[in-house]
C-alpha cells in the first residue's frame, strides 16, 4: 500500500474491487490519526468528482473529523450539478484554510496536477504534503498517495466510495445516495458504457434502495439542457470533420461567446459524435486559455484512447480520455490527422486479425 518508487516503465499494481474493504479500514485508521482533513478533487469537476467529495466528507464527519476544505480544484461546479445537496461547499477554494490541513484526501484525480488552479498556486505544498490519500478509478493513476486505493475495475470513484462507506458503516441519506448515483451515472452515461459491470449495477441498485432519486439524476445529467447548449452544439456540429475513422469537432471561444454558453455545456457532445455511423473514435476540443482541452472517445475496445492521449501528456480510460493541446486550429487539425492515422492503423490491424480468426 505504501507507495514505492515509481518509474515510467513500471506497471502500477492497482487495487481490485475485493481489496477495497481492507483499504477502507486502513483509510479509517489513517483519518483517525489526523485532525484536519482536506478533500480535493479535479478542476472542471464532473458528477463523479462532486459525489466523491461529498461522500468522502460524510465519511470524515462520521469519524469525527470535520474537513477544513472540501473543494474542486478550480472552485467551479457546473450548472447541471447544482441540484446536489451541499454542492456549494465545493466552490469555496479557501486556499488559506487548506494550508492548515494535516491530511490531504484526493478523490477521482489520476494525478495531483488534475486539481488545477488550487494545485498550481501551491505546488510545493501539494507535492511535499506528508499525509496524502488517493482514491480513484483511473487506470493511469500515478499512485501518488501515502495511502492509495485505485480500482480501475470500478466504473466511478463513487462506486469505490460506496464500498468504503458500507464497510465503515457510515450512514447514508437520500441526498448523499442521489449524489453517489449521479456520480456513477455520470461516468457510465447512465450504466451504458462498457466500464459498467454487474458490481456497478449492484451499487446503483443499493443506492436506489436507500433513497436515491433516479428521475432527478436523469433529468439533470442527460435529459434537460439549456437552450444555449443546443445553440452551441449546433455551431460545433457545423465544423465536424473526419480524419480517417476519427470524427472530430471544436468549440472556440467565439462560439462560447456568441451562444452565451459555458464550457461545461460542451459535456456530452463528444459522445454524440462518437455515435456517428462509421466512426471508430471521436474527438472534441474546446478552447481554453490559448490551448485546446481535448476529449477523446473510442467506439470499440481495439482503440485505447488513453494510450493515444498519453503521447500528448494526457490520460484517462481506454474508451474515454483527455488531454491539453497548445496551439491554434491548424495545430488541432494536425493533431486530429495524427490521431486519425493511429486509429486507422489499429482498426485495420484488428480487422485483419478478425479475418485470420475466421480462416482458422
Residues lying near Mn ion in the complex (CB under 5 A) are found at 48, 108, 156-157, 187
CB-count burial class (<10 Å; 0-12, 13-18, 19+) for 168: middle
| Cβ proximity to Mn ion, 108 vs 265, nearer residue | 108
Q: How far is the CB of 185 from Mn ion (least distance, A)?
A: 11
How many residues does the structure list for the chain?
A: 360
Q: Closest residue (Cβ) to Mn ion?
A: 48
Dihedral sign, Cα of residue 115, residue 120, residue 125, residue 128: positive
| Cβ proximity to Mn ion, 156 vs 246, nearer residue | 156
| Cβ proximity to Mn ion, 48 vs 111, nearer residue | 48
Q: How far is the CB of 48 from Mn ion (least distance, A)?
A: 3
| Cβ proximity to Mn ion, 294 vs 343, nearer residue | 294
Q: How far is the CB of 321 from Mn ion (least distance, A)?
A: 12
| Cβ proximity to Mn ion, 236 vs 296, nearer residue | 296
Q: How far is the CB of 327 from Mn ion (least distance, A)?
A: 28
| Cβ proximity to Mn ion, 176 vs 249, nearer residue | 176
Q: How far is the CB of 36 from Mn ion (least distance, A)?
A: 26
14, 151 contact by CB (below 8 A): yes
106, 40 contact by CB (below 8 A): yes
Residue with cell 488534475: 114
Q: Are strands 147-150 and 241-243 parallel, antiparallel or unpaired?
A: unpaired
Q: How far is the CB of 144 from Mn ion (least distance, A)?
A: 16
Q: How far is the CB of 222 from Mn ion (least distance, A)?
A: 16
| Cβ proximity to Mn ion, 53 vs 232, nearer residue | 53
Amino acid at each position: 500500500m505504501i507507495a514505492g518508487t515509481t518509474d515510467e516503465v513500471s506497471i502500477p499494481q492497482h487495487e481490485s474491487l475485493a481489496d477495497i474493504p481492507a483499504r477502507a479500514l486502513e483509510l479509517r485508521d489513517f483519518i483517525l490519526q489526523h485532525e484536519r482533513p482536506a478533500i480535493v478533487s479535479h478542476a472542471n469537476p464532473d458528477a463523479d468528482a462532486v459525489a466523491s467529495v461529498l461522500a468522502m466528507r460524510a465519511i470524515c464527519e462520521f469519524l469525527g473529523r470535520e474537513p477544513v476544505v472540501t473543494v474542486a480544484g478550480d472552485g467551479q461546479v457546473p450548472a447541471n450539478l447544482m441540484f446536489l445537496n451541499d454542492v456549494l461547499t465545493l466552490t469555496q477554494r479557501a486556499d488559506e484554510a487548506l494550508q492548515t490541513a494535516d491530511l490531504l484526501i484526493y478523490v477521482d484525480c489520476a494525478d495531483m496536477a488534475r486539481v488545477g488552479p488550487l494545485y498550481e498556486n501551491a505546488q510545493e505544498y501539494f507535492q511535499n504534503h506528508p499525509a496524502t490519500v488517493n482514491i480513484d478509478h483511473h487506470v493511469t493513476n500515478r499512485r501518488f498517495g501515502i495511502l492509495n486505493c485505485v480500482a480501475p475495475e470500478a466504473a466511478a470513484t463513487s462506486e469505490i466510495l460506496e464500498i468504503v462507506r458500507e464497510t465503515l458503516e457510515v450512514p447514508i441519506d437520500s441526498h448523499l445516495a442521489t449524489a453517489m448515483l449521479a456520480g456513477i451515472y455520470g461516468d457510465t452515461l447512465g450504466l451504458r458504457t462498457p466500464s459498467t459491470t454487474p458490481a456497478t449495477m449492484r451499487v446503483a441498485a443499493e443506492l436506489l434502495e436507500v433513497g436515491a432519486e433516479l428521475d432527478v439524476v436523469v433529468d439533470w445529467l442527460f435529459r434537460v439542457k439549456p437552450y444555449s447548449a443546443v445553440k452551441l452544439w449546433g455551431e460545433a456540429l457545423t465544423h465536424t470533420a473526419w480524419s480517417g475513422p476519427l470524427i472530430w469537432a471544436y468549440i472556440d471561444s467565439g462560439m462560447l461567446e456568441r451562444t452565451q454558453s459555458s464550457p461545461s455545456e460542451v459535456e456530452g457532445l463528444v459522445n454524440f459524435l462518437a455515435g456517428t455511423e462509421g466512426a471508430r473514435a471521436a474527438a472534441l476540443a474546446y478552447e481554453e486559455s490559448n490551448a485546446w482541452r481535448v476529449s477523446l472517445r473510442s467506439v470499440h475496445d481495439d482503440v485505447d484512447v488513453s494510450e493515444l492521449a498519453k503521447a500528448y501528456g494526457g490520460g484517462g480510460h481506454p474508451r474515454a480520455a483527455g488531454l491539453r493541446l497548445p496551439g491554434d486550429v491548424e495545430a488541432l487539425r494536425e493533431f486530429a490527422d495524427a490521431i486519425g492515422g493511429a486509429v486507422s492503423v489499429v482498426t485495420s490491424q484488428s480487422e485483419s486479425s478478425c479475418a485470420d480468426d475466421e480462416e482458422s
